[in-house]
Structure 1
């Protein structure tokens, strides 16, 4: 009797997992199907789920209508720089707040996390004025700084959890062997933080790549706009969307995040295994 209940429970879990995967995959499958449909099929009243005659016409139209290559390069520059700077700043900050606890450090960490609850609309006007005074409006540099500040609280909170998991006894052993503080951090702490570093870089990159509101407000020139903003150009003034080119451009905008996640996922798993062995 107990065995049958276990089998039924396991079957239910697998069914729920399959339903969840279908729920997650449906938008991507629909996007791919729409991107490869011909203009005639998109305008047909008896359209099917899968394209009858796959075509690249939508991709050609998308590149012909908007500067997708340039906007993709802008997004790549902004997301990569924002992720690198966020992690570079968050690593020492997380280590210091974990190893050297004080009331000031706790208050600063609490305030940083509370700031994440501020809505975008609340900060965009003062942020715009500050960047305008620094002549960073319509600049990728200004957008990178905004993303660094916006990603830093979560990156700091995330890395603090990994830093707490590093045994202090390992640092003490390294100090007994004659290692200084910087060498201990570089040779002992950072290798054990590898899973956290990978996860934080992944989060920061994807967040900056997909962000829309700040990029829309701060970037005015078409040659400096990111992919998320360029996608809105496929929608007309009256809300009518050029569905085929829009789906093709959206698919191209989605691929870098998926590829970046797939690339770092292996390193994330290997980093977990490495940290478990070293710990």
Structure 2
């Protein structure tokens, strides 16, 4: 391959990457633009990407019309609790499945992957009846249980891959040096698994934060509803959306996921590199 051909190929790769980034950023940029546009610009036949007269009125109206702070708090409690519990359960299970391979663990991993294909509608009726018998309908505790069960299979599948990436020779070397099983797990394995645990917790958090269907069915009273459910209240009786406040509220609902990922993504990458060096 000539130098000119390599440069052309690399330029094509960069162009494809830029196009992909623009494709991913398009909905967010549109959302931000809509959130800051006044009603007369939103109703224009030729809307502009950049608001001509930016305003915060949409945000004020959104907070006046709906209990966004309470809904955000409910979503935060449910998402954080679900992420912590799911990771706490999945981590030891993933270690056992990765280190003690057998036909049973292989079948369990396959079942974990297949379970993700189950539609929500298939499980909502038996799930509703179980929670009703446990008196957990219309409670955040019941919703957290649902989120943990729903995110646990994929969290387990993710962590199994991270555990298998940690060389068993490191644990064997620590054992030869006199470290016990618990000391080895805490001092050797856990630090190398930290990036995987953080990434898995982030997945569980975002899944619970954005979830709509279970929250809609299981939560009845307005003061316990989560943010995705409250966002639907900006739709009128005839399905006509109040675009300005809806975009403002949706933008605020998107911020936590973006901020959390921006804060921890460097730590995830740094942890992976550290693990690679130690390996």
Q: CA deviation at 1:11?
A: 1.5
- What is the TM-score of this pair, normalised by structure 1? 0.96
Q: What CA distance in whole angstroms lies between the structure 1 residues aligned with 2:175 and 2:106?
A: 26
Partner of residue 240, structure 2: 240
Partner of residue 217, structure 1: 217
Partner of residue 116, structure 2: 116
The answer to whether 1:264 aligns with 2:240 is no
Rate the CA distance shift 1:15–1:108 in 2: closer, same or farther, 3 A.
closer
Partner of residue 28, structure 1: 28
SS at match of 1:193: helix
Q: CA deviation at 1:189?
A: 0.7
SS at match of 1:159: helix
Q: CA deviation at 1:13?
A: 1.4
Q: What CA distance in whole angstroms lies between the structure 1 residues aligned with 2:105 and 2:120?
A: 26
Partner of residue 88, structure 2: 88
Partner of residue 194, structure 1: 194
Aligned residue pair count: 279
1:6-53 residue CA offsets vs partner (Å, 9 max, x unmatched) = 222122111111111111111111110110011222223343221111
Query: Structure 2: which 5+ runs fail to align?
Result: none
The answer to whether 1:174 aligns with 2:152 is no
Q: What CA distance in whole angstroms lies between the structure 2 residues aligned with 1:21 and 1:112?
A: 31
- What is the TM-score of this pair, normalised by structure 2? 0.96
The answer to whether 1:104 aligns with 2:110 is no
* Cα-Cα RMSD: 1.3
The answer to whether 1:49 aligns with 2:43 is no
Q: What CA distance in whole angstroms lies between the structure 1 residues aligned with 2:83 and 2:206?
A: 9
SS at match of 1:59: helix
Partner of residue 79, structure 2: 79
Partner of residue 148, structure 2: 148
Q: What CA distance in whole angstroms lies between the structure 1 residues aligned with 2:167 and 2:44?
A: 63
1:189-240 residue CA offsets vs partner (Å, 9 max, x unmatched) = 1111112112111111111111111111111111111111111000012110
Q: What CA distance in whole angstroms lies between the structure 1 residues aligned with 2:59 and 2:185?
A: 48
Q: What CA distance in whole angstroms lies between the structure 1 residues aligned with 2:176 and 2:16?
A: 53
Q: What CA distance in whole angstroms lies between the structure 2 residues aligned with 1:250 and 1:81?
A: 22
Partner of residue 14, structure 1: 14
Rate the CA distance shift 1:25–1:100 in 2: closer, same or farther, 3 A.
same
Contact kept? 1:202, 1:264, Cα under 8 Å: no
Q: What CA distance in whole angstroms lies between the structure 2 residues aligned with 1:108 and 1:12?
A: 42
Q: What CA distance in whole angstroms lies between the structure 1 residues aligned with 2:135 and 2:124?
A: 16
Contact kept? 1:39, 1:57, Cα under 8 Å: no
Q: CA deviation at 1:127?
A: 0.4
Q: What CA distance in whole angstroms lies between the structure 2 residues aligned with 1:45 and 1:116?
A: 43
SS at match of 1:270: helix
Q: CA deviation at 1:117?
A: 1.4
